[in-house]
Amino acid sequence: MEYIYVIENNNTGKFYIGRTNNPATRKRAHFSELRRGVHKNPRLQYSFNKHGEQAFEFKVVDSAESDKICDKEAEWFSAFDEDKAYLYNCHFQTYGGPKIWKPHTPESKLKISEAIKDGTRK
């Protein structure tokens, strides 16, 4: 089971949408980063700095089986038209942010394997 959560600013009504398989751990990680001023979401960090921790609430709002959670998260983004007037999210991909990689093809795996045989690259 995985969960959709929001981190809501009770002063402004804006929120961040995310997903996790462990809400307690994810909440702890988010708030730790926010307190230290190193959160990867600059919009959420700025608001946290401005309004203070007491203004923010972490809430689990939905759940789904792991194979359905991407669709569920996309539904939440769509419900707010991916509108940054409501959301702190900087991107709306449904798994861990913008993709800058893709899985290797079998051909590329073979090339990599050949290149590093004997502990050296060619």
What pLDDT shows up at residue 92?
64
Going 76 to 81 to 85 to 88, the CA torsion angle's sign is: positive
87: DSSP letter: B
Q: What's the pLDDT score for residue 99?
A: 42
Q: Output the domain CATH number for residue 17.
A: 3.40.1440.10
**Which pLDDT belongs to residue 24?**
96
Assess if residue 88 is contained within a domain. Answer: yes
* Structure tokens given for 91: 């991107």
Q: What is the pLDDT of residue 121?
A: 54
Please indicate, yes or no, if residue 102 is contained in any of the structural domains. no
Domain span at 44: 2-97
Specify the pTM.
Answer: 0.73
Whether residue 62 is contained in a domain is answered as yes
Domain count, the chain: 1
What gap in Å lies between CA 101 and CA 36, rounded to an integer?
29
The verdict on residue 43 lying in a domain is yes
Q: 39, 40, 36, 44: which is closest to 9 by C-alpha?
A: 44
Q: List phi, psi (to 5°) of 47.
A: -65, -40
pLDDT of 105 reads 80
Average pLDDT per run of 10 along the chain, which is 122 residues long? 95 93 95 96 95 98 91 85 77 52 73 74 53
Asked whether residue 74 is domain-assigned, the answer is yes
Q: Is residue 117 in a domain?
A: no
The conformational region for residue 119 under phi > 0 = left, psi -120 to 50 = alpha, else beta, is left
In a domain, 109, yes or no: no
